[in-house]
Structures are given as C-alpha cells and as structure tokens.
Amino acid sequence: MTSPGAAEGQAIIGVSWWGTAMFAVTSVAATIWTDLRLVAAIVALGLFAIGCVVFLAAFAFAVARSATDAIGIGGLYFLAGSAPGPVRRSLMGALAVQVIVALVTASIRIFTSLAFGILVPIFGLGQAGLWAARHGRFEARA
C-alpha cells in the first residue's frame, strides 16, 4: 500500500532515476575505458544543464506557490516534511547515487574529464525541487 501522495509526480521520479542511471553507466564505463571519457563528459554536462533549467523552474513554481504556502528551501530541494517517505527516499536516493558516483569516478581518474561529474547532483536537486514545487505539501502561509 502506498502512502498518500506517493503516486504523484512519478514521471519526475522516473526522469531522476533515468538520468542517474545514464550518468552512472557512462561514468563507470569511462573510468574503465578511457575512450569513453568524452561521452561521459557530454552526459555529465548535459545533465548539469538540464538540472540548472529544472532547478530554476522549480524555484519559479515555488515562488508562485509561496503566496499561499510557506515554502522553505529544505522542504523544496531536500523534501524535508514536504514529501511522503517513499518519494523522499527515492529522489534523495537518486541524488546520493549521483554524489557517490561523481566522487568515486573523479577520484579514481584524477585530472580527467570525469571531474565534470561533480556537477551532476544539480540534476538531482532540480528534480527533487520540481517534485516539491508541483506536488509537495507545505503549511499554509499565515
């Protein structure tokens, strides 16, 4: 049985995990096969660019909602108190995977294009922010 609100925004959650998987596969492959570093860099920079746009869109949606809802940054981008447990665990799990993959692959291949992976967690934060701005539960503004 899913908790109330857990079914909302499944497309956002799916996109978050799709991007995370694409990043993990290309980064790990580029760590092993150096010929794939350009592909990994393009994927990382593409996810970063998408993340920037989504991050700002989430902020714009939140600003629009802030007339009636008290929205904090922790609730918006880290889903603190604004999302059901399964949604929070999924989106924050994707973010954690992005951070771990970025740090591990960039640490294994220091001074290479794999360092661009450090930018990818903006994608995860943007997806979490978009979910919260569209579907999050916030207290009414006093």
- pLDDT tens digits along 28-62: 999 999 999 999 999 999 999 999 999 999 999 99
Can you give the pTM of this predicted structure?
0.92
Q: Identify the band that residue 1 occupies on the pLDDT scale cut at 50, 70 and 90.
A: very low
Q: Write down the pLDDT at residue 2.
A: 46
Residue-wise pLDDT for 11-29, tens only, equals 999 999 999 999 999 999 9
Contact 26, 43 (CB under 8 A): yes
- As a whole number of angstroms, the distance between CA 27 and CA 48 comes to 14
What single-letter amino acid sits at 18?
W
Q: Write down the pLDDT at residue 21.
A: 98
Torsion sign (Cα): 67, 73, 76, 82: negative
- As a whole number of angstroms, the distance between CA 95 and CA 122 comes to 9
Which percentage of the chain shows pLDDT scores above 70? 95
Tell me the mean pLDDT in the region 78-91: 96
Backbone angles phi, psi at 140, to 5 degrees: -70, 145
What single-letter amino acid sits at 34?
T
